[in-house]
Amino acid sequence: MIFLSACSGGQKQTVPANEGTTPPVEKQVEINNEAKLLLNYLAKNGDYVNSREFPSLISVEPAFEALGEKTLVIDMRRPEVYKKGHIKGAVNVEIPGLPEFLTGKIKPFEYDKIILVSYSGQSSSYATLLLRLMGYGNVFSLRLGMSGWNPKMNNKWAAGISSEYESKLDTVTYTKAPAGDFPLLNTGKTTGVEIFDARVTLLFSEYENAAISADAVFSNSEKYYIINYERKDKYDTGHIPGAIRYKPGGTLGVIAEMQTIPADKEVVVYCGTGHNSAFVTAYLRLFGYNAKTLRFGNNSFMHDKMVREENTMSWQPYQKADTKNFPVVK
């Protein structure tokens, strides 16, 4: 196979020159000790990322029906925005304050559901992954965020959809980069739980660096190792130039798969809406990867294509009807 450094670190698939010959056995790469300890810790605590609960999203209709004493809504938006209109009963806690709020201000397991709400559901998905890994099994991210709750709530989704780059889609299949070590975490900790605590505390304070726009990616796609987190048939219909497909449900926590994600390159993860990729991004950043989620996913660069192929490909294009008219209070 031929390595293409100009295609996000991936490789084009080619026909081997000597068909039928036995390929050389690749030497296994040992991963560093802190990565091992962290992987083992997460596996022993339920392997959430490969469970039926992943990703923990809730749509606006069931969220509205669940409102009551047994449901806590946490609005993660800025205080001045929260004051202009929010879900009745919602408390305002921005993302850096979530761990302290759940450990010191409430008794989380007194609730059936704790629903995190952000502007569009992107940052709440990122935070939900981290809280789920911390053991809060009743936390959910509101799909589409306040943009899906009420049309007057500064609809980020309506502004985020675009078809500007549909003509630039690539249909070449790219293979993964050669296996290497995980990023070095250098926490200095000696147990999995200590490493996890050190990393997760940091991640709650750095979400602003964990997202990227379609404009930035398409303007310089060669700069990134781009992960398409979709079904194969969706990948085959067209993807970001150089993007490599990673299988949902068969990547996170799988050493051989994660080893093919370069530790020394900026990584962009995208899916249909940006919700799943936000979950994936948070997990990769936990292990030290410089990963970013593509805001609004495919909707941010090929929305018209998603609408045309909605029935045949099961795309999830944002539509005006997806934003409901549920009540808000000030």
CATH number at residue 114: 3.40.250.10
Range from 26-35, 160-169, 212-221, 245-254 carrying the lowest mean pLDDT? 26-35
Structure confidence at residue 27 as a pLDDT band (50, 70, 90): low
Percent of the chain at pLDDT exceeding 90? 90
Residue pair 161/318 in contact by the 8 Å Cβ criterion: yes
Residue pair 120/87 in contact by the 8 Å Cβ criterion: no
Domain-embedded: residue 328: no
Structure confidence at residue 99 as a pLDDT band (50, 70, 90): very high
Q: How many CB atoms lie within 10 A of CB 14?
A: 9
Residues 147 and 173 in one domain: no
Which structure tokens are listed for 264?
Answer: 């020394």
Q: Which domain holds residue 93?
A: 47-160
The confidence score (pLDDT) of residue 109 equals: 95
Domain boundary among 124, 140, 160: 160
Instruction: Report the domain count for the chain.
Output: 2
Q: What length is written for the chain?
A: 330
Residues 142 and 187 in one domain: no
Residue 13 has pLDDT above 80, yes or no: no
Instruction: Select from 210, 247, 248, 215 the least CA-distant residue to 124.
Output: 210
Domain-embedded: residue 20: no
The confidence score (pLDDT) of residue 26 equals: 58
What is the pLDDT of the chain when averaged over all its residues? 93
Residues 6 and 91 in one domain: no
Structure confidence at residue 76 as a pLDDT band (50, 70, 90): very high
Instruction: Select from 226, 244, 171, 222 the least CA-distant residue to 11.
Output: 244
CA 276 remoteness from chain centre: 4
Q: Which amino acid is at 288?
A: G
CA 203 remoteness from chain centre: 13
* pLDDT, tens digit (0-9, with 9 covering 90-100), for 134-191: 999 999 999 999 999 999 999 999 999 999 999 999 999 999 999 999 999 999 999 9
Q: What is the DSSP letter of 300?
A: G
The confidence score (pLDDT) of residue 206 equals: 86
Structure confidence at residue 6 as a pLDDT band (50, 70, 90): very low
Residue 11 has pLDDT above 80, yes or no: no
Query: Is the Cα torsion angle 88, 275, 268, 218 positive or negative in sign?
Result: negative
Residue pair 158/323 in contact by the 8 Å Cβ criterion: yes
Element (H, E) at 72: strand 71-75
Structure confidence at residue 113 as a pLDDT band (50, 70, 90): very high
CA 65 remoteness from chain centre: 26
Domain-embedded: residue 109: yes
Which strands make up the sheet holding 113-117, listed edge to edge?
Answer: 57-58, 139-142, 113-117, 71-75, 91-92
Pairing of strands 174-175, 11-12: antiparallel
Residues 106 and 213 in one domain: no
Structure confidence at residue 24 as a pLDDT band (50, 70, 90): low
Domain-embedded: residue 18: no
The confidence score (pLDDT) of residue 117 equals: 98
| 111 Cβ contact partners less than 8 Å away, ≥ 6 residues apart | 70, 71, 72, 138
Domain boundary among 160, 187, 202: 160
Residues 150 and 185 in one domain: no
Domain-embedded: residue 243: yes
| Gyration radius (Cα) of the chain, Å | 20
Across residues 235-255, what is the average pLDDT?
Answer: 97
The confidence score (pLDDT) of residue 18 equals: 43
Across residues 268-280, what is the average pLDDT?
Answer: 98
**Torsion-angle region of residue 309: left (phi > 0), alpha (psi -120 to 50) or beta?**
alpha
Domain-embedded: residue 262: yes
How far apart are alpha carbons 284 and 184 in whole angstroms? 13
Residues 168 and 303 in one domain: yes
Residues 108 and 211 in one domain: no
How far apart are alpha carbons 146 and 136 in whole angstroms? 22
Instruction: Select from 105, 219, 76, 217 the least CA-distant residue to 228.
Output: 217
How far apart are alpha carbons 55 and 58 in whole angstroms? 9
Domain-embedded: residue 88: yes
Alpha-carbon distances of 283 from 3, 9, 55, 105, rounded to whole Å? 27, 20, 12, 26
Give the predicted TM-score (pTM) of the model: 0.91
Residue 21 has pLDDT above 70, yes or no: no
Place of tokens 């049309």: 151
Alpha-carbon distances of 153 from 142, 171, 326, rounded to whole Å? 14, 37, 11
